[in-house]
C-alpha cells in the first residue's frame, strides 16, 4: 500500500494538529515537557538504560519525531548511558522532510538533533527503514505502514514501550487488543510501558497482553496517565551473550560489509582471504550498479532490493562523511523498458505504488533520452539517487574504517574450519596451520563456500559474469547508468563498463570474444547505435564468478547442519551449526544487498531488533531450502 504523507496543520496556539484524526500531536502545555514526563519518566529513563550494552524502545506513533528527539537528547546528556540505543517506531502517515523542518523549528534546544534526523530521513516508501545516527550509537528503525501489520513483523525484544497514537476514540486501530498483544510478545523481562491514555479499553487490552499497569499523575491537563511492567515473554529474543570476536572468511562485498557492521559494534574481526587484498574476486569489477528492482505486486525480491538499496545509499553517505575514500557517484540510474508491454508495466508499477519522485518516477522516451544523453526508443524508470560504485574501494574502506578492530589475513586460503573444544572455530590453511580462531565464524567467501563441508546444505551456484571495458572520453554519453537487459556505466577513468553475462555452470576464467560481442549487442540494445560506433576499438574486460541462489535471494543467517529436506518443520526448529553463519547468494546484486545483509547478520549476532520484516528475514534464511523446493537459477532482469 502506498504511503500517504501527513499534512501539516497547526492550531492557533502553534500546536501541530491532524485533520485526518481530529487530534493534536502533543499537549498544548509543551511538547518536549510532555514527552519527558510521560515517556521518559514513565519508563524510569534514563536510569534503566544506564550501564547496559544496548537498550531498545518500541513506540507506536512516530508523528513529529518529538519523543525520539527528546529520548535521544536525554541519552546524550547521560554520562552513564547504554552503548547503543535502539528506537523502533511505527507511522502510517509520516511527515515529509520539509514539514518536519517546520515542526522541529519550534524546539530550538533539539535543533541539532532534528537537523541530523532530517538529513537521514528516508524516501517515504513502505516497510522498515534503518537510520543510523550519532556515529551509529543511536539507531532508529522506522516502520512505515500499518502498525497492526508491521509490529508483528519486528524480530527483537523490547525493554520499554511508548504508546503515543492519537486518542483511542480517534484512532482505535493503534490501540487494538491484537496490536497490544504483539507488544506483549516482544517484551523482555522487566520491560516497562508508559502512555498518556487511561481509557478502560486500553487498560484491559494491556492486561490481556501481560502488562501490569497502574495510574500515576499525568501531564498538563491530563490528570492521570498509565505506567506498566511486563514479566517477559517467551517469544522475545534475549540479548546475545556471545564473546564479540569473529572470523570472517572473505574480503569481498559480503565479508567486508559484515565485518564493518560488527566492528562498529565493538567486535574484533579476523578477515581471511586468499587474494592479496580486498575485493579481488567477484567484487573486483570497475563499476557496479546500486538501485532497487520494483514490481507491480511488491514481491519479496522488490522489497529486499528496495530495503537494500536505501540502506546502501545511506551507508555510502555515512562512510563518505567520515572521509573514507570510496569511488562512487550518485549520478542516477535509468532503467529502460525492454518493449512496449514492459514499458506499460513499468508505468503501471509507479502509478500503483505512488513512489515519491526522489526515489523513483517513470519517464517517457523523450525525457529518458535527455537523461541518457542519447536517443532511446522507450521510456523507463528513473532512480535519481541511483549510483555506480567501485566495489574494491568500498571493500577496502569498510575494512579500514575500524583498524584496531579489524585484522586482515590476505594471501591465506581457508582449507578447512575446525570446531574448538570450548566452542567456536579455527580456520586452518592447506598446511594445517591455524590462521585465526574465534567464537563465531562467518562464511562470506563467494563461491568458495561450496568447498566448506559444514555449508553443504546451501545450494550456492557459480554464475560466471563477463564485463566489457570500452574506451570512453569524459563527456561521452551516457553520464548516468543506463540499464536494459544489461547495463552501461558512465566513463570512469576513460573506461565504460558494459555487461554483464550471467552463465551458471560455466567455469571458464578467460575472457571470451563471444561474450564481448554479446555485451556490445547489449550496448546497442540499451543505447541504439553505440555498439556499432565502437568499430574495431580494442575491448578489454573482466571475468568474475558470483555466488547465486536458486530463488535469486540472498542466503544470510545460521548455517543448517542437516542436508536432507525437512518436511513440516518450521525454520526455527532446523538444527544449525553452533555459531557458524553464511552471507552469500547475492548473484548480480552484491552492491544492492551487501550493506543491508551485513547489518542484518550483525543485528542478529548482537540480539538487536532486526532491520527487516520477519517475512523477509525468513526469505533469506539459509535453511529455507530444506523446507521448500528451490527454483532453477535464471539470469536476473536488468
Give tens-digit pLDDT for 282-308.
999 999 999 999 999 999 999 999 999
Report the alpha-carbon distance of residue 179 to residue 419 in Å, rounded.
43
Which secondary structure element, helix H or strand E, spans residue 585, and what is its range?
A: none
Query: 49 and 122 in contact (C-beta within 8 Å)?
Result: no
Q: What is the mean pLDDT of residues 29-46?
A: 94
Which of 219-223, 375-379, 475-479 is predicted with the least confidence, judged by mean pLDDT? Answer: 219-223
CA 62 to chain centre: 20
Report the alpha-carbon distance of residue 280 to residue 367 in Å, rounded.
38
**Share above pLDDT 70 across residues of the chain, in percent, rounded to a whole number:** 97
pLDDT given for residue 635 in this prediction = 40
Q: What is the mean pLDDT of residues 584-602?
A: 97
Q: What is the mean pLDDT of residues 35-41?
A: 97
pLDDT given for residue 536 in this prediction = 64
Q: Is the peptide bond before 478 cis (omega within 30 degrees of 0)?
A: yes
Look at residue 242 and tell me whether its pLDDT is greater than 80. no
Provide the mean pLDDT of the chain.
94
**What b/e sequence results for 39-60 when a residue is b if at least 16 CB atoms lie within 10 Å of its CB, and e otherwise?**
bbbbbebbebbeebbbbbbbbb
Report the alpha-carbon distance of residue 557 to residue 559 in Å, rounded.
6
Report the alpha-carbon distance of residue 31 to residue 26 in Å, rounded.
5
Which of 50-59, 336-345, 466-475 is predicted with the least confidence, judged by mean pLDDT? Answer: 466-475
Report the alpha-carbon distance of residue 75 to residue 43 in Å, rounded.
14
pLDDT given for residue 24 in this prediction = 86
Closest CA to 310 of 138, 151, 85, 131: 131
Closest CA to 126 of 326, 292, 331, 337: 292
Q: What is the mean pLDDT of residues 105-126?
A: 96
**Share above pLDDT 90 across residues of the chain, in percent, rounded to a whole number:** 88
Find all residues with CB under 8 Å of 395, minimum gap 6, and list them.
Answer: 251, 252, 253, 255, 256, 278, 279, 283
Query: Radius of gyration over alpha carbons of the chain, in Å?
Result: 25
Which of 204-218, 272-286, 528-542 is predicted with the least confidence, judged by mean pLDDT? Answer: 528-542
Query: 428 and 434 in contact (C-beta within 8 Å)?
Result: yes
Q: What is the mean pLDDT of residues 216-223?
A: 90
If pLDDT is split at 50, 70 and 90, which confidence band does 632 have?
Answer: very low
Alpha-helical (H) ranges within 455-571 are: 513-526, 530-533
Burial category of 230 from C-beta neighbours within 10 Å (exposed 0-12, middle 13-18, buried 19 and up):
buried
Query: 16 and 64 in contact (C-beta within 8 Å)?
Result: yes
Contacts by residues 351-354 (CB-CB < 8 Å, ≥ 24 positions apart): 352/2, 352/296, 353/2, 353/294, 353/298, 354/2, 354/3, 354/4
Report the alpha-carbon distance of residue 526 to residue 529 in Å, rounded.
9
Per DSSP, what are the bridge partners of residue 229? 192, 212
Query: 607 and 240 in contact (C-beta within 8 Å)?
Result: yes
**Hey, which CATH number is domain 9-230, 1.10.3720.10, 3.40.50.150, 3.40.50.720, 3.40.190.10?**
3.40.50.150
Q: What is the mean pLDDT of residues 50-56?
A: 96
Identify the residue whose cell numbers are 547521560.
78
24 phi/psi in degrees, rounded to 5: -90, 155
Look at residue 521 and tell me whether its pLDDT is greater than 80. yes
Report the alpha-carbon distance of residue 440 to residue 553 in Å, rounded.
24
In the chain, CATH 3.50.50.60 sits at: 251-281+392-453+555-627
Q: Which residue has the higher pLDDT, 166 or 438?
A: 438
Query: 544 and 562 in contact (C-beta within 8 Å)?
Result: no
What DSSP assignment string belongs to 109-158?
GGHHHHHHHHHHPPP--SEEEEEEETTTTEEEEEEES-HHHHGGG--S-E
Report the alpha-carbon distance of residue 187 to residue 189 in Å, rounded.
7
In the chain, CATH 3.40.50.150 sits at: 9-230
What DSSP assignment string belongs to 317-365?
HHHHHTT----EE---EEEE-SSHHHHHHHHHHHHHHT--TTT-EEE-H
SS3 459: coil
Is the full-model pTM beyond 0.85?
yes
Give the dihedral sign, CA 522/524/527/530. Answer: positive
C-beta neighbour count of 556 within 10 angstroms? 28
Q: Render pLDDT for 62-78 as a digit per residue (tens, 0 to 9).
A: 999 999 999 999 999 99
Q: Render pLDDT for 151-202 as a digit per residue (tens, 0 to 9).
A: 999 999 999 999 999 989 999 999 999 999 999 999 999 999 999 999 999 9
Look at residue 559 and tell me whether its pLDDT is greater than 80. yes
pLDDT given for residue 630 in this prediction = 47
Superfamily classification of domain 251-281+392-453+555-627: FAD/NAD(P)-binding domain (3.50.50.60)
If pLDDT is split at 50, 70 and 90, which confidence band does 17 have?
Answer: confident
pLDDT given for residue 479 in this prediction = 96
Contacts by residues 400-403 (CB-CB < 8 Å, ≥ 24 positions apart): 400/324, 401/260, 401/263, 401/264, 401/319, 401/322, 401/324, 402/260, 402/263, 402/264
Report the alpha-carbon distance of residue 603 to residue 56 in Å, rounded.
12
Amino acid at each position: 500500500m502506498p504511503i500517504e504523507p501527513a499534512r501539516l496543520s497547526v492550531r492557533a496556539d502553534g500546536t501541530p494538529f491532524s485533520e485526518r484524526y481530529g487530534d493534536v500531536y502533543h499537549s498544548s502545555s509543551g511538547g518536549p515537557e510532555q514527552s519527558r514526563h510521560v515517556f521518559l519518566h514513565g519508563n524510569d529513563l534514563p536510569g534503566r538504560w544506564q550501564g547496559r550494552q544496548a537498550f531498545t524502545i518500541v513506540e507506536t506513533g512516530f508523528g513529529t519525531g518529538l519523543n525520539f528527539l527528546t529520548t535521544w537528547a536525554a541519552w546524550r546528556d547521560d554520562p552513564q548511558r547504554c552503548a547503543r540505543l535502539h528506537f523502533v517506531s511505527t507511522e502510517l502517515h509520516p511527515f515529509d522532510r520539509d514539514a518536519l523542518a517546520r515542526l522541529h523549528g519550534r524546539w530550538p534546544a533539539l535543533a541539532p538533533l532534528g537537523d541530523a534526523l532530517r538529513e537521514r530521513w528516508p524516501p517515504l516508501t513502505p516497510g522498515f527503514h534503518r537510520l543510523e545516527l550519532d556515529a551509529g550509537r543511536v539507531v532508529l528503525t522506522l516502520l512505515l505502514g500499518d502498525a497492526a501489520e508491521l509490529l508483528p513483523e519486528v524480530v527483537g525484544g523490547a525493554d520499554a514501550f511508548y504508546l503515543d497514537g492519537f486518542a483511542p476514540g480517534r484512532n482505535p486501530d493503534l490501540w487494538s487488543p491484537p496490536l497490544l498483544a504483539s507488544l506483549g510478545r516482544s517484551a523482555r523481562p522487566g520491560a516497562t510501558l508508559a502512555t498518556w491514555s487511561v481509557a478502560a479499553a486500553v487498560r484491559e487490552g494491556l492486561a490481556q497482553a501481560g502488562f501490569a499497569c497502574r495510574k500515576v499523575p499525568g501531564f498538563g491537563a491530563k490528570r492521570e496517565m498509565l505506567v506498566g511492567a511486563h514479566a517477559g515473554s517467551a517469544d522475545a529474543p534475549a540479548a546475545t551473550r556471545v564473546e564479540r570476536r569473529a572470523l570472517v572468511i572473505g574480503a569481498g562485498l559480503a565479508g567486508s560489509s559484515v565485518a564493518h557492521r560488527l566492528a562498529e559494534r565493538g567486535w574484533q574481526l579476523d578477515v581471511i582471504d586468499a587474494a592479496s587484498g580486498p575485493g579481488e574476486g567477484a567484487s573486483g569489477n570497475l563499476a557496479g550498479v546500486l538501485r532497487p528492482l520494483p514490481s507491480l505486486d511488491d514481491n519479496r525480491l522488490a522489497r529486499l532490493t528496495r530495503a537494500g538499496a536505501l540502506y546502501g545509499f545511506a551507508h555510502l553517505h555515512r562512510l563518505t562523511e567520515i572521509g573514507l575514500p570510496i569511488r562512487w557517484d550518485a549520478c542516477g540510474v535509468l532503467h529502460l523498458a525492454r518493449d512496449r508491454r514492459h514499458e506499460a508495466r513499468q508505468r503501471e508499477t509507479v502509478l500503483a505504488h505512488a513512489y515519491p519522485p526522489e526515489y523513483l518516477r517513470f519517464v517517457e522516451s523523450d525525457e529518458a533520452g535527455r537523461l541518457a544523453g542519447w536517443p532511446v526508443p522507450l521510456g523507463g524508470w528513473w532512480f535519481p539517487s541511483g549510483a555506480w560504485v567501485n566495489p574494491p574501494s568500498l571493500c577496502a574502506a569498510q575494512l579500514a574504517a575500524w583498524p584496531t578492530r579489524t585484522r586482515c589475513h590476505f594471501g591465506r586460503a581457508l582449507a578447512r574450519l575446525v570446531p574448538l573444544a570450548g566452542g567456536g572455530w579455527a580456520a586452518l590453511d592447506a598446511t594445517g596451520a591455524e590462521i585465526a580462531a574465534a567464537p563465531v565464524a562467518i562464511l562470506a567467501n563467494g563461491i568458495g563456500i561450496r568447498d566448506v563441508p559444514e555449508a553443504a546444505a546451501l545450494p550456492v551456484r557459480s554464475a560466471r559474469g563477463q564485463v566489457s571495458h570500452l574506451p570512453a572520453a569524459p563527456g561521452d554519453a551516457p553520464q548516468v547508468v543506463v540499464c536494459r537487459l544489461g547495463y552501461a556505466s558512465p566513463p570512469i577513468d576513460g573506461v565504460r563498463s558494459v555487461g554483464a553475462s550471467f552463465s551458471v555452470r560455466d567455469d571458464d576464467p578467460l575472457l571470451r570474444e563471444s561474450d564481448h560481442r554479446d555485451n556490445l549487442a547489449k550496448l546497442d540494445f540499451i543505447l541504439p547505435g553505440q555498439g556499432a560506433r565502437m568499430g574495431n576499438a580494442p575491448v578489454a574486460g573482466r571475468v568474475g564468478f558470483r555466488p547465486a541462489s536458486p530463488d535469486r535471494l540472498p542466503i544470510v543467517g545460521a548455517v543448517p547442519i542437516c542436508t536432507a529436506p525437512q518436511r513440516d518443520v518450521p525454520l526455527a526448529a532446523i538444527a544449525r551449526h553452533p555459531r557458524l553463519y553464511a552471507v552469500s547468494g547475492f548473484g548480480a546484486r552484491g552492491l544492492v544487498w551487501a550493506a543491508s545483509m551485513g547489518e542484518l547478520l550483525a543485528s542478529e549476532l548482537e540480539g538487536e531488533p532486526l532491520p527487516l520484516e520477519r517475512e523477509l528475514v525468513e526469505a533469506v534464511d539459509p535453511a529455507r531450502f530444506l523446507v521448500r523446493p528451490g527454483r532453477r537459477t535464471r539470469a536476473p532482469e536488468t
